[in-house]
Amino acid sequence: MRLPLFAMAVGSFGIGTAEFVVMGILPAIADSEHVSLADAGTLVTAYAVGVVVGAPLLTVATTRFSRKRLLIAFMAFFAAANLLTAFAPTFEVLVASRFVAGLPHGAYFGVAAVVGASLVPFERRARAVSAVMAGLTIATVVGVPLSALAVDLITWRLVFVVIALIAVAAMIAVELTVPDTGGMVRPTRPGAEVRALRSSRVVLTLLTGMIGFGGMFACYTYLTPLLSEVTGFGSFAVACTLVVFGLGMTLGNIAGGHAADRFPLRGLFAAFFAIAAVLAVMAFTVASPVMAVVCVFAMAFASSNVSPILARMLLDGAQEAPSLASSLHHSAFNVANANGAWLGGLVLGAGFGLTSPLLVGVGLSLAGLVLSFALAGAVRAADRRPAPAPPLGHQHHFAGRAPVLQGAVGVARVRQLERVHGGREVPGGQFGERPFFEAAQTAELRDQFRAER
C-alpha cells in the first residue's frame, strides 16, 4: 500500500509548499507589491483563515461522496486557486486568492488521513497518517528553500504556477494508485459527524493545537527576515537554513508518528516544553550563525512531533466523525498559523524588533503545555467511562459467531485485549470504524466469546 500513500503525499507536498512558501519569499512579495513585511504577512493569515473556514464546511458537505473522487476534486480546486495567485493583478486579489487556496487544504488532509489509515492494519494507523502528511514536511525541505532561492532568478509568481502543476500530478497519481475505499471506509451523515465532536476531549484537543502550535508559526513566519537582518545570512545561507528546518520537520513528523502510537500524552508534554525552551534560547542567541541553525532544527523537530499526536487523539476521541475530526485538526493548526503570524506582526509593528516574535512563540507554546495537561485529564476521564453499546446495524461477528460490541476504547486497551485473544488482530473496519472488544463491558460477554471460539 505504499503507492497510494505516496500518491496522497504528493498532494500533501503541493499543499505544504503553498502554505509555507510565502514565509520563504515574503520579502520578495513585499517588494514586488510595494507593501510592508507586516502587510505581506496577511497572505499567511488569509491562507490560514481559508483552511479554517473550508475544512469543516467542505468536509460536512461531502461526507456522502466517494473519498477517492473527493481527493481528485480538492486537488483540482487547489490547482485553480494557485493559478489565480500566480496571475493576481493587485495585492487585494492576491490576498483573496490565498484565502481561496486554503479552502480545500483541511478537507483534503481529512479525507487523505481516513483513506490512508483504512489501507493499513489498525496498529499502524498513526504511521500511515504520518506517511500521508510526510509531503507536508518534505515541502519544507525542498519546496520552500528552492522557492527562496528561485526568487533571486525568477518572479515569485512562477512558484505558484509550479505548485499548480504539482497538484495536477497528484490528481493523476491518486487516480492511478488509490483504490476505491467504499468497502473499507463507511460513509457518514453530516449530522452524525457534527454530534460526535461535542466532547470536551475533542474540544480540548483542538484548542491545544490552535494555541500551542502558534508558537512555531510566530517564529517561522518571520524567519527569513530574522536570519537575513539579525543573523546576517545571505540568500543562499537562508535557503540552507530553511532546508535544515525542513529536515527537522520531517524527522520530527516520523518521531511524532511513533510517539502517537506508543505514548501520546508524554510526547505532547515533551514537545510543547521543548518548543518553548528552544524559542527562548533562540531569542537571545540568534545573532550567532551556529546557534541560529541549531535552534531552527530543534524548533522544527519539536514542533512537528505535535501534529501526529493530536491527530491520533482527535481520531480516538471522535470515532464517529473521522473525516471531520481530521479536517478540523488542520483547521486548528491553521488557526495557530494565523495567531502566530498575527501576534508576531503586532509586536513587529509596535517596534519591538525582529526577535520579539520568538518571545511571543514562547508564550503560546507554554499555553499549549498547560492545555495539554487539561487534555490529559479529559482523556483519562473518557477512558474510565464504559463504552456505549453499538446502534442497531453496527454489530459485527467474529467468524460468524458471537456479536462483538463496538466501543471507544484506547489503543492500550486494544493491545491488552488482543493479547487476551491470542495475540491475533481484532477483526473489522479501520480508523474510527473498528469494532473493538470491550473486555470491561461484562464478564459474561468475554466468557461467551472464549467459549464460542
332 with 440, same domain: the answer is no
Q: Are residues 256 and 317 in the same domain?
A: yes
Tell me if 389 is assigned to some domain. no
Scanning 119-263, the segments in alpha helix (DSSP H) are 125-141, 143-150, 157-177, 190-195, 200-212, 214-220, 223-226, 235-262
Residue 430 and residue 319 share a domain: no
* Domain co-membership, 443 together with 374: no
Inside any domain, residue 391: no
For 423, the domain range is: 396-452
Cross-strand pairs, 404 = 396
Based on the domain organization, do 440 and 296 belong to the same domain?
Answer: no
Instruction: Give me the pLDDT at residue 131, please.
Output: 83
* CA–CA distance, 122 with 437 (Å, rounded to integer): 13
Helices (H), strands (E): how many in the chain?
19, 2
Q: Find, among 104, 116, 114, the residue nearest to 55 by Cα.
A: 104
Question: Which pLDDT belongs to residue 65?
Answer: 80
Among 383, 404, 419, give the residue marking a domain's end: 383
Q: What is the pLDDT of residue 83?
A: 96
- Asked whether residue 445 falls in the same domain as residue 377, the answer is no
Are 81 and 21 within one domain? yes
Domain end position, chosen among 383, 407, 424: 383
Tell me which residue of 45, 11, 5 sits closest to 340, measured CA to CA: 45
Residue-by-residue DSSP string for 272-285: HHHHHHHHHHHHHH
Q: Are 308 and 257 in contact (CB under 8 A)?
A: yes
Domain count, the chain: 2
The answer to whether residues 124 and 248 belong to one domain is: yes
**HEC assignment per residue over 27-63:** HHHHHHHCCCHHHHCHHHHHHHHHHHHHHHHHHHHCC
**Where among 334, 349, 383 does a domain terminate?**
383
253 located within any domain:
yes
Beta strands in 299-418 (DSSP E): 396-397, 403-404
Task: Supply the CATH number for residue 122's domain.
Answer: 1.20.1250.20
pLDDT reported for residue 379? 83
Q: What is the pLDDT of residue 294?
A: 96
- Please state, in angstroms and rounded to a whole number, the distance separating the CA atoms of residues 450 and 453: 5
Smallest CA-to-CA distance from 310 within 382, 368, 366 is with: 368
What pTM, to 2 d.p., does this model score? 0.69
Residue 275 sits in the same domain as residue 417:
no
Contacts 24+ apart (CB under 8 A), 342-350: 342/41, 342/45, 343/214, 343/218, 344/41, 344/217, 344/218, 344/219, 344/221, 344/222, 345/38, 345/41, 345/221, 345/222, 348/37, 348/38, 348/222, 349/38
Length reported for the chain: 453
Q: Are residues 369 and 434 in the same domain?
A: no
**Whether residues 161 and 296 fall in one domain:** yes
Name, in order, each residue with C-beta under 8 angstroms of 73's C-beta and a sequence gap of 6 or more: none
Q: Which of 197, 439, 422 is nearest to 326 (CA)?
A: 197
User: Are 400 and 260 members of one domain?
Assistant: no
State residue 184's pLDDT score: 46
Strand partners of residue 396: 404
Determine, yes or no, domain membership for 43.
yes
The Cα–Cα gap between 425 and 187 comes to 24
**pLDDT at residue number 193:** 61
Walk along the chain (453 residues) and give the pLDDT tens digit of each residue: 578 889 999 999 999 899 888 888 888 898 989 988 878 888 988 998 898 888 888 877 887 788 888 999 999 999 999 999 999 999 999 999 999 999 998 889 878 888 887 787 776 777 787 788 778 878 888 888 888 888 878 889 999 999 999 999 999 999 999 887 654 445 556 665 666 567 778 888 889 999 999 999 999 888 988 999 999 998 889 989 988 998 898 888 888 878 887 888 999 999 999 999 999 999 999 999 999 999 999 999 999 899 888 888 877 776 666 666 666 777 888 889 888 988 998 898 888 889 999 999 999 999 999 999 999 888 888 777 665 554 444 443 333 333 333 333 344 444 444 444 444 333 333 333 333 323 333 333 344 434 434
* Contacting residues for 220 by C-beta, under 8 A, at least 6 apart: 20, 23, 245, 340
359, 391 Cβ separation under 8 angstroms: no
Q: Give domain status of residue 79, yes or no.
A: yes
d(CA 323, CA 71): 12
